[in-house]
Amino acid sequence: MSRKIYIFDTTLRDGEQSPGFSMTLGQKLRVARALSDLKVDIIEAGFPAASPGDFNAVRAVASEIKGPVIAGLCRTIPADIESTIRALEPAEKSRIHTFIATSPIHRKQKLNMSPDEVISHAVNAVKLARGSCDDVEFSAEDAIRTERQYLAEVLQAVIEAGATTVNIPDTVGYSTPSEMHGLFHWLSTTVPGIENVRVSTHCHNDLGLAVANSLAAVEGGATQIECALNGIGERAGNCALEEVVMALRTRADHYEAEVGVDTTRLTAASNLLAAVTGNFVPRNKAIVGENAFAHEAGIHQHGMLASPETYEIMKPQDVGLRNSQLILGKHSGRHAVVDRAKDMGYVLEDSEVEVIMERFKDLADVKKRVFDSDLEAIITGYEIGTNGPWSLNWLSVVSCVNGETEPAVSLTLAHEDGTTSTHTGEGDGPVDAMVQALELVTGSEIEVLSLAMRSISLGEDAQGEATMRATVDGREYSGTGLSTDIVAACADALLEIINRATRSANQAEQNGVVGAHA
Ligand code: KIV
Ligand code: ZN
Question: 222-242, pLDDT tens digit by residue?
Answer: 999 999 999 999 999 999 999
- Give the bridge partners for 95, in sequence order: 71
Is the distance from CB of 306 to CB of 298 less than 8 angstroms?
no
pLDDT score, position 457: 52
Task: Report every protein residue that has its C-beta within 5 angstroms of ion ligand 2.
Answer: 14
| C-beta 165 within 6 A of ligand 1 | no
> Which one, of 57, 44, 33, 32, lies nearest residue 6 by Cα?
44
- 390-511: same fold as 3-277? no
Atom 8, ligand 1: residue with shortest CA distance: 14
pLDDT of residue 171 exceeding 50: yes
3-state DSSP of 431-448: HHHHHHHHHHHHCCCEEE
Q: Which ligand is nearest to the CA of 144?
A: 1
Report CA(256)–ligand 2 centroid distance (Å): 26
| C-beta 44 within 6 A of ligand 1 | no
Q: What is the DSSP string of 68-87?
A: SEEEEEEESSHHHHHHHHHH
The CATH architecture of the domain made up of 3-277 is Alpha-Beta Barrel (3.20)
Is the distance from CB of 98 to CB of 67 less than 8 angstroms?
no
Report CA(226)–ligand 1 centroid distance (Å): 10
pLDDT score, position 462: 61
Least confident range of 139-153, 340-354, 445-459: 445-459
- Write out pLDDT tens, residues 343-373: 776 778 888 898 899 888 888 887 677 877 6
- Write out pLDDT tens, residues 458-501: 555 566 678 788 888 888 777 777 777 788 889 888 988 888 88
| C-beta 515 within 6 A of ligand 1 | no
Ligand 1 atom, smallest distance to 171 CA: 1
Ligand 1 atom, smallest distance to 101 CA: 3
Q: Which residues have a Cβ under 8 Å from the Cβ of 160 and sit 6 or more positions away?
A: 123, 193
| C-beta 99 within 6 A of ligand 1 | yes
- Write out pLDDT tens, residues 400-448: 777 778 888 999 988 888 899 999 998 888 889 999 999 998 888 999 9
| 3-class SS of residue 413 | strand
pLDDT score, position 455: 63
Please give the Cα distance from 210 to 177 (Å, whole number). Answer: 9
Q: What is the DSSP string of 491-505?
A: HHHHHHHHHHHHHHH
- Write out pLDDT tens, residues 261-310: 999 999 989 989 988 888 889 989 999 998 899 887 888 888 888 888 88
Mean pLDDT of 84-112: 98
Report CA(117)–ligand 2 centroid distance (Å): 23
Is the distance from CB of 73 to CB of 97 less than 8 angstroms?
yes
Report CA(19)–ligand 2 centroid distance (Å): 14
Domain ranges, ordered by start, for the chain? 3-277, 294-379, 390-511
Element (H, E) at 225: strand 224-227
Buried b / exposed e across 481-495, counting CB within 10 Å, b at 16+?
bebeebbbbbbbbbb
Q: What is the pTM of this model?
A: 0.74
Please give the Cα distance from 240 to 288 (Å, whole number). Answer: 10
Least confident range of 301-315, 326-340, 367-381: 367-381
Report CA(2)–ligand 2 centroid distance (Å): 28
Single-letter amino acid, residue 72 = G
Phi-psi region of 476 (alpha: psi -120 to 50; beta: other; left: phi over 0): beta
> Which one, of 219, 223, 218, lies nearest residue 195 by Cα?
223
Atom 5, ligand 1: residue with shortest CA distance: 141
Which of 54, 144, 167, 238 has most ligand 1 atoms within 8 Å of its beta carbon, as the pocket-test mutant?
Answer: 167
Least confident range of 70-79, 172-181, 332-341: 332-341
Residue range 390-511 in CATH 3.30.160.270 = yes
pLDDT score, position 229: 98
Please give the Cα distance from 361 to 369 (Å, whole number). Answer: 11
Ligand 1 atom, smallest distance to 14 CA: 8
Atom 2, ligand 1: residue with shortest CA distance: 171
Strands lying side by side in the sheet with 464-472? 446-455, 464-472, 475-483
Q: What is the mean pLDDT of the chain?
A: 89
Output 330-334 pairs: Cβ under 8 A, ≥24 positions apart.
330/361, 330/364, 330/365, 331/296, 331/297, 331/298, 332/296, 332/298, 332/301, 332/360, 332/364, 332/370, 333/298, 333/299, 333/301, 333/302
Please give the Cα distance from 434 to 426 (Å, whole number). Answer: 8
Report CA(26)–ligand 1 centroid distance (Å): 25
| C-beta 202 within 6 A of ligand 1 | yes
pLDDT of residue 76 exceeding 50: yes
Q: Is residue 13 packed enough to be buried (19+ CB in 10 Å), middle (13-18) or exposed (0-12)? A: buried
